[in-house]
Structure 1
Amino acid sequence: MQRALIVDDSKTAQVRLRKMLSRYDLAVDIVSSAEEALGYLSYRMPAVVFMDHHMEGMDGFEALKIIKANPNTATIPVIMYTSQKGDVYVGQARALGALDILSKEIIKPSSLERVLACLHIVPKGEAEDSAVATKPVNTVIDPASMPAEKPHADLPPANDEDPVLVKVQTQVAKLFEMHIADVRQQIADNSRFIVRRLSGELEKNQKTEPTIDDVPVSVLNAELTAENRRGQFISSSLLFLIFIGLGLIAWELYDSKRDNQFIKQQYSQLMKLNTDNQALISSLTEYLSAQETEHGLDGVDPAVMDVVSWALENNMHFDYGAQPLGEEQIVKLNALTYQLAAAGFTGLVELDIHFGNFCVQMNSAGDWVLAAPETLVQNCVLVSDLNREYQVGDYLSMPFLGYEQNAQPIKEGRISVSLGVSGLAQPKMAYPEPIETVTAGQWNAIAAQNNRISVGFSYL
């Protein structure tokens, strides 16, 4: 099986390209830096390399130069897989030996298929059809028609040509043809440039002009003009920089004022939410105390605890990409713990983190963000397609650890807290169907309701 190498330090870009390559009969290897790629190529020859441009350490162009300068790796097709664009960048990449350029922002399966088709790499279904339709042809070569060669004792006996070797030879031949054409074009361009320059020099030398101390008058005039322009440019530049500085200062003041207003608004909303939650928990715990008195020492009525769980679940949602156990959620949990302890509850508080299956798309920085509200769901990527792993250890925030260590009812052993992660399973609200007519805004509104922390109780 042929291999493909992805060189990219962006995990999301790796996942996206690897998913698109799964349609082909390729074994995909991934490295995160150009240095790792060069080490990989020292012992393995992939059929194609997808190279990012901006990476930590050595960038994609430097790695491409080294690959093409090494005779052992010069024939490996390299495709630049980057967010860079423009004719200048494409020309630089091709001049250094890149086979083609694929944009991260607008890459489509058809674009990838077009590039791989040049390397005779086709999707799995087409490869199988081609294998069935094509019968192997063995060519018998008459030894008598071969030119005489000196025998070598260390050469192995001749065998039938390996189909893979034939493909590699064909690819190498095409690459050499492309490079030869580029070199010829460069030689022709350089020749025309040199001829024009020599013609200009000859015409210039044929003309005579007055000189001062062997210096042409035109040169002196040009120097004086350049000095005047330089002085004007410096003055204009200083004035321009002063205006820019004043503009930046004004913008910083405006931005700081706006940030302060936003922080005050968020703080007011948080305090109001906290007050409402405290009132809800207080009213519920008062009822819990009455239930405990009514039932004696048998404990709190389980139905009441289910009501508390429902109330908390409806107030413990978190935004996409936010920390589930952030400061806001820990304030609610801390208040609940003390209120339950005051009501005489003894047992286990069970926390379960649920995530919404949001409709997302990749931005220019390579990050997955919420898709535009008017985008159709069938045109974006669902979080479930990203194959994310949900481990409890990934969500143990500093506020939660401080809550576990400092809450007095927990330290005394009267109340215990357990944490679990259900991931995308057990959504609270069902997602709309069929998705062909659903927009990202409608879908993500449901996903936001499923992005929550549920609370359950067990009695000791």
Structure 2
Amino acid sequence: MRLVLIVDDSKTARLLLRKMLAKYDVDVAMAESGEEALEYLQGNKPDVIFMDHMMPGMDGFAAVKAIKADPDIASIPIVMHTTKQGDIYLGQARALGAVDILTKPASASDLSRILEQVNNRDTRIETEIEPVVVPDTVVVTPPFYGSARQSLFVLIWVVSIVWLISLYVDEQVEIKLLQQQQATTFGVIEALMNRQQTYDYGEVPMGGNRLALLETILPLLEQAGFRGAIRIEGHVGDFCLSQISLADGSEVMMLPSPELPLTACDVIGVSGAMAMRQSIAQSSGFAALRKQSQRAGAAIRIELAAYGATTPQYSYPVDIESVSTGDWNAVALDNNRVKYLLIAD
């Protein structure tokens, strides 16, 4: 596999998938719409296409139909790269000609499985090689560089070309080494940013220590030459809460005593919409820093992605009857987290 085409109207989604594909040593082309993808395919034939579904204009399914209707490009495997999932959607995608679905946000294992599946498919039609006809009569051409003067000219020309090529190769090696060093530096910074991901119940996720971390990291990234986005994914835990009556007669939801049984909880978690809002709630200082990062000409922009409680990193206890509120809320706290991704332009 040599060339991959990513079709997605979201720049962040395109760059995130391109970053994941970097370790597979493939060239990556990108298109922002189905129309742009079809135009690109007129002169290029990638080994696989990752196609978003929801796009303005021509959506993903319409683009798949158009590709499969063109005999010159119909054999290219197409993988739907979308938040949609389920057997019904998979059946619709395959009926149109897609080979599989890579659900957003993609995991490394799912991407590896998809690429292995594509590599194992027999999607290429081998081109027949015409036999080379060797003529019966061999015509001997007189040497062009017959004189010593011509030979000297050729020698100078060849030496000059070799010297220029060596300079180019040395420069490319230095550039590649610098890029590798930068990638290593960015990877270390990203790992350090993710060492402390959790935040307390009731604490604003995009604020406090996370704001202090960004204010420290941003100058370091700029000095290291990073250009791109810091993508911050917000997650919330499904906390066990009890309704507590206050002295003034009002009632609030609070964490119960940890030794109580889980059945003492009045509610577990919040609605999906509320969890989404809570996962990217911002302090005023964080909002100001993010707005500053989105000004024209800024080298590094801050992007937020709300995941709510949909993707817990740690599994909650299954045996509800024997679990205490403390045990449950300890898992909820681990799932109450932010994740940082550095996405270079």
Q: TM-score, normalised by structure 2?
A: 0.43
Give the number of the structure whose residues are more often helix, by fraction: 1
Bigger RCO (CA 8 Å, 6+ sep): 2
Q: Considering only CA atoms, is the larger Rg found in Structure 1 or Structure 2?
A: 1
